[in-house]
């Protein structure tokens, strides 16, 4: 049977267009990555697809251990490895978690129907989660997906995590080639492995980042020792030293930049608070200046009134000074100093003077009766007569005051200009 031709893989331009579209989305359908790292995520995935064309990026729903579902980016495909001078393709899925690229992604091997994960593998657990030193020592921003896949290819070549689960067919001429990855069975050692029943297609394992804690990837000390010896035997020590120095330098520079940014933010906040204080003080100074100007205008008006009154008093003094000097002070009577302007004023002056005089007489009688100068019956009789007379003067003064008020109102009404209706 002739297999249908495989569908052409997307071109790098299509990958770039896809990543630009999904990473530029806004709103509820946007991916949960920080805006300041989306450009770096795009560069990582583009570099990965250029080196490994089968690792195509896509979006899928990832379910955490606590039940949360989130739409994330993933790169699914095969990573080539060399085992006993034969190249095999290992299917993997790389999930870019919400904290990527500041933290490492989640890597899973994705076996096909006729593949089984090797038991007690040093860096792949039964759920398919991959835990290697590159993921554990992930350093932002120097670590990337391309170096991760190269590292995985090296580790997979040291100890393949998958083996074939298909029974050897005695009649190869009628083999329908059900394995979607025939290059994986090129090594006879895999086909001679223990035969197990075919397993259904796997679903993606639960996230190691969730709160359930069902996945606990850990490597034994023997496994780490064997992996470290394999790396030192194949990689150039100078290259490893150079890469470590670059990573440390990048990390140090990144830390210095973050510290400098925090210091500048603190200084900026201090400057903004000082600016707010200065603005409040400026408003207070302007308000005080306005009040002082208003007070100055009021004082100038009062000064003008005082000067006018001073002129009036000086003119009156000059006018009456000759009268006093010509006639002499001996002939001036106190009653003639003040002249009422009208009859009501004269009557008001007389009533007020009589009232005050009677008040003085009653006070003198009080002192006399206290000292025993006059008998009590004489005191009571005189006080009764004086009180009756004082009442009459006070009542008359009240009526005169009411008449003055009425006359003043009438005078004001007569001086007011008539308004046409």
Q: Cα–Cα distance between 73 and 46 in angstroms, integer? A: 13
Task: Quote the pLDDT of residue 180.
Answer: 39
Query: Could you give the angle at which helices 145-158 and 221-234 cross, rounded to 10 degrees?
Result: 100
Please determine, for residue 375, whether its predicted confidence score (pLDDT) is greater than 70.
Answer: yes
Higher-scoring residue by pLDDT: 178, 271: 271
Query: Residue 59: phi, psi to the nearest 5?
Result: -110, 145
pTM across the whole model: 0.40
Tokens of 217: 């990837």
Q: pLDDT band at residue 237, thresholds of 50, 70 and 90? A: confident
Task: Quote the pLDDT of residue 191.
Answer: 35
Q: What is the pLDDT of residues 274-285, one digit of tens each?
A: 999 999 999 999
Using only C-alpha atoms, what is the Rg of the chain? 55
Least confident range from 11-25, 45-59, 203-217, 361-375: namely 203-217
Q: pLDDT band at residue 397, thresholds of 50, 70 and 90? A: very high
Query: Could you give the angle at which helices 38-51 and 145-158 cross, rounded to 10 degrees?
Result: 40
Burial 80-119 (b: 16+ CB within 10 A, else e): ebebeeeebbbbbbbbbbeebbeebbbbbbbbbebbbbbe
Q: 348-352 contacts: CB < 8 A, separation 24 or more?
A: 348/397, 348/400, 348/401, 348/404, 351/393, 351/394, 351/396, 351/397, 351/400, 352/393, 352/397
Q: Cα–Cα distance between 23 and 33 in angstroms, integer? A: 8
Q: Which CATH number fits domain 12-235: 3.30.70.2190, 3.10.110.10, 3.40.630.30, 3.30.565.10?
A: 3.10.110.10
Please determine, for residue 377, whether its predicted confidence score (pLDDT) is greater than 50.
Answer: yes
Paired strand residues for 164: 115
Instruction: Please report the sign of the dihedral spanned by the C-alpha atoms of residue 372, residue 375, residue 378, residue 381.
Output: positive
Biggest CA-to-CA distance, the chain: 164
């Amino acid at each position: 049977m002739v297999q249908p031709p495989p569908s052409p893989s997307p071109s790098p331009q299509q990958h770039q267009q896809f990543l630009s579209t999904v990473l530029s989305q806004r709103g509820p359908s946007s991916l949960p990555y920080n805006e300041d790292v989306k450009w770096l995520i795009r560069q990582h995935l583009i570099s990965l697809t250029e080196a490994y064309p089968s690792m195509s990026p896509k979006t899928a729903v990832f379910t955490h251990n606590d039940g949360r579902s989130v739409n994330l980016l993933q790169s699914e495909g095969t990573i080539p490895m060399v085992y006993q001078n034969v190249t095999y393709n290992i299917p993997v899925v790389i999930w870019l978690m919400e904290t990527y690229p500041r933290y490492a992604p989640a890597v899973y091997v994705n076996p096909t129907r006729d593949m089984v994960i090797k038991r007690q593998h040093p860096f792949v657990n039964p759920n398919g989660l991959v835990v290697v030193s590159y993921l554990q020592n992930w350093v932002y921003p120097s670590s990337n997906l391309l170096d991760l896949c190269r590292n995985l290819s090296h580790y997979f070549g040291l100890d393949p995590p998958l083996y074939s689960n298909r029974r050897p067919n005695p009649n190869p001429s009628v083999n329908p080639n059900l394995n979607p990855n025939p290059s994986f069975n090129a090594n006879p050692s895999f086909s001679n492995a223990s035969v197990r029943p075919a397993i259904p297609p796997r679903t993606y394992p639960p996230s190691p980042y969730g709160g359930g804690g069902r996945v606990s990837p850990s490597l034994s000390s023997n496994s780490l020792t064997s992996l470290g010896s394999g790396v030192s035997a194949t990689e150039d020590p100078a290259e490893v030293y150079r890469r470590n120095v670059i990573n440390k330098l990048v990390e140090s520079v990144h830390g210095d930049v973050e510290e400098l940014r925090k210091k500048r933010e603190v200084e900026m906040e201090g400057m903004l608070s000082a600016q707010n204080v200065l603005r409040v003080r400026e408003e207070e100074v302007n308000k005080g200046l306005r009040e002082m100007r208003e007070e100055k205008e009021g004082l100038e008006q009062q000064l003008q009134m005082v000067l006018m009154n001073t002129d009036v008093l000086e003119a009156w003094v000059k006018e009456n000074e000759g009268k006093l000097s010509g006639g002499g002070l001996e002939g001036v009577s106190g009653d003639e100093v003040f002249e009422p302007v009208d009859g009501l004023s004269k009557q008001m002056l007389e009533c007020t003077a009589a009232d005050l005089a009677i008040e003085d007489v009653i006070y003198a009688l009080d002192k006399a009766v206290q000292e025993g100068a006059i008998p009590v019956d004489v005191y009571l009789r005189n006080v009764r007569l004086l009180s009756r007379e004082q009442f009459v003067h006070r009542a008359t003064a009240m009526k005169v005051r009411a008449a003055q008020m009425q006359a003043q109102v009438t005078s004001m009404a007569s001086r007011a200009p008539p308004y046409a209706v």
